[in-house]
Amino acid sequence: MAISVHTNASALTALQNLNKTNDELGQVQNRVNTGLKISTAKDNAAIWSIAQGQRADIGALAAVQMSLDRAKSISQVAMTAGESVSDLLVQLKEKVVTAQDPSLDTASRNAVNSDYKSILRQITQVVQNSTFDGANILDNSIPAGIKFLANADANAYITLSAKNLTLGNGAPGSIITMTVASSIGTVTLATAILSQLNSSIVNVNQALGDMGSQAKQIENHNAFVSKLTDVLTAGVGNLVDADLAKESARLQALQVQQQLGVQSLSIANEAPQVILQLFRGGG
């Protein structure tokens, strides 16, 4: 290699190697700082794009879980209210059967009838208060039920059906067939009400069974969405997360290389000083 004061090839080579080491060191430091081996599209465009798509799905699934959590809460409130109505209907049967006793005097019959009407009012109060976040599926305010998100594309739903437990309807097929103005003030009235009450008890229990099945479906699907979110999150991690143990070892190695590179560049820069020795006079 020629010795020249214009071109120091060794220094240029040492500088290139040092710059390369510094670039690699910067990349490793970024991985250590962020915990990601791919944090931008520049690192790996294909994998970054896949990871971003999965992150979008994870965010959408979070919205699905929020919707299902709301569905779960609404169903729990409705189930609790429905069970209370069922218990009140059981109490009503005692009153209705008592009212069929022909030996009751007028005062006793009036007292039983008063209790009957009081329980009917309690049923109305329970139904009216079975609301969560403005939604009540028992008071006939949402006859079509409520749809909740079931997937990240928002094109599949889980429906929570409405069950009309209000009084005062009296139409065939109603869940509770007694009207709000019904009475058991006579044996004849009580006998007619007993038939309606028995049908109402069967209807309410069937409605509770349906609500229970739907609530179970919602819970199961919510658990599936939670597991799916965890799997997708782990998948994104497999794609972009840095192996910090490996990066730590790499960081130390590059730091040593950087120090050696600086020393090599320093030595290479001193090489032209040899030329001065060539031109020194003897003596």
pLDDT in 10s for each residue of the chain, 283 residues: 566 667 777 888 888 888 888 887 777 777 787 787 888 888 889 999 999 999 999 999 999 999 999 999 999 999 999 999 999 999 999 999 999 999 999 999 999 999 999 999 999 999 999 999 999 999 989 989 999 999 999 999 999 999 999 996 655 557 998 988 899 999 999 999 999 999 999 999 999 999 999 999 999 999 999 999 999 999 999 888 877 788 778 778 878 888 888 888 788 777 777 777 777 655 4
pLDDT value at residue 283: 46
DSSP conformation letters of the chain: ----SS--HHHHHHHHHHHHHHHHHHHHHHHHHHSBS--STTT-HHHHHHHHHHHHHHHHHHHHHHHHHHHHHHHHHHHHHHHHHHHHHHHHHHHHHHHT-TT--HHHHHHHHHHHHHHHHHHHHHHHT--BTTB-SSSSSSTT-EEEE-STTS--EEEE------SS---TT-SS-S-TT---SSHHHHHHHHHHHHHHHHHHHHHHHHHHHHHHHHHHHHHHHHHHHHHHHHHHHHHHB--HHHHHHHHHHHHHHHHHHHHHHHHHHHTTHHHHHHT----
The verdict on pTM exceeding 0.85 is no
Domain ranges of the chain: 76-239
pLDDT value at residue 17: 84
What CATH number matches the domain at 76-239, 1.20.1330.10, 3.30.2350.10, 1.20.1090.10, 3.40.309.10? 1.20.1330.10
